[in-house]
Amino acid sequence: MLNLFPNEKIILPLPDAVFEYYPNFIDNETADILFEKIMQETPWQQDDIILFGKKIPQPRLTALFGDQGLTYTYSKLTLNANKWNTPLMFLKNEIENKTQLQFNAALLNFYRNENDSNGWHADNEKELGLDPIVASLSLGETRVFQLKHNTKTDIKKSIDLKHGSLILMKEGSQLHYKHQIPKSSKMKKPRINITFRSIQ
């Protein structure tokens, strides 16, 4: 059974947006089970992206899950949603119950080691609406999550996203901020990141 810590919520003191961090959203034992099941049951893919005019492999593996018929396009890549599986539907229901929000898709990222990364970006694709809300759950190795304001250059924040944590990026988060998972100079074990979204 999922062990929630409903009162452990940190509101990040950042202007122009709402970020909520739940460092212990699920307990380690449950997170271990979910990590193994999702890693094994996900049809991971590595797509090519264009960077500075050159085609290179994306520095992580990805997969999209969601309601029937959904697609999601980012960085000129279009992903077709796989059917929800049991562990992802379980997490979706728990997150929706906790946040009182609704999501119909989840983009998964698999960071295999310290060399895998996700550069500065906002989840602001048109199919996510005008002011998207994203719930981002972490399983596996702790990785640094960095935020920076689009115009207020002195506003920056780094958070260690640990095993079983959830960060909820709410109103203003994709309009006024960019975020990234940088490469690490230290050896890192695998990490799965599940970002629940509402595709319109």
As a whole number of angstroms, the distance between CA 147 and CA 127 comes to: 23
> How far apart, in Å, are the Cα atoms of 87 and each of 20, 35, 38?
23, 9, 7
User: Domains plus CATH for the chain?
Assistant: 10-197 (2.60.120.590)
Please say whether the beta carbons of 146 and 182 come within 8 A: yes
Contacts of 88 (CB under 8 A, 6+ apart): 38, 65, 106, 194
Please say whether the beta carbons of 56 and 200 come within 8 A: no
pLDDT reading at 1 higher than 50: no
pLDDT reading at 8 higher than 90: no
Once rounded to an integer, what is the mean pLDDT over residues 114-140? 96
> How far apart, in Å, are the Cα atoms of 193 and each of 38, 149, 181?
10, 22, 10
Q: What confidence score (pLDDT) does residue 7 get?
A: 56
Average pLDDT of the chain, as a whole number? 93
pLDDT for 88-114, tens place per residue?
Answer: 999 999 999 999 999 999 999 999 999
pTM exceeds 0.85, yes or no: yes
Please say whether the beta carbons of 32 and 66 come within 8 A: no
As a whole number of angstroms, the distance between CA 54 and CA 174 comes to: 27
Once rounded to an integer, what is the mean pLDDT over residues 121-142? 97
Tell me the angle at which helices 28-41 and 86-99 cross, rounded to the nearest 10 degrees. 130
pLDDT for 146-192, tens place per residue?
Answer: 999 999 999 999 999 999 999 999 999 999 999 999 999 999 999 99
75 confidence band (pLDDT: 50, 70, 90): confident
Positive or negative, the CA dihedral 14, 11, 132, 43 is positive
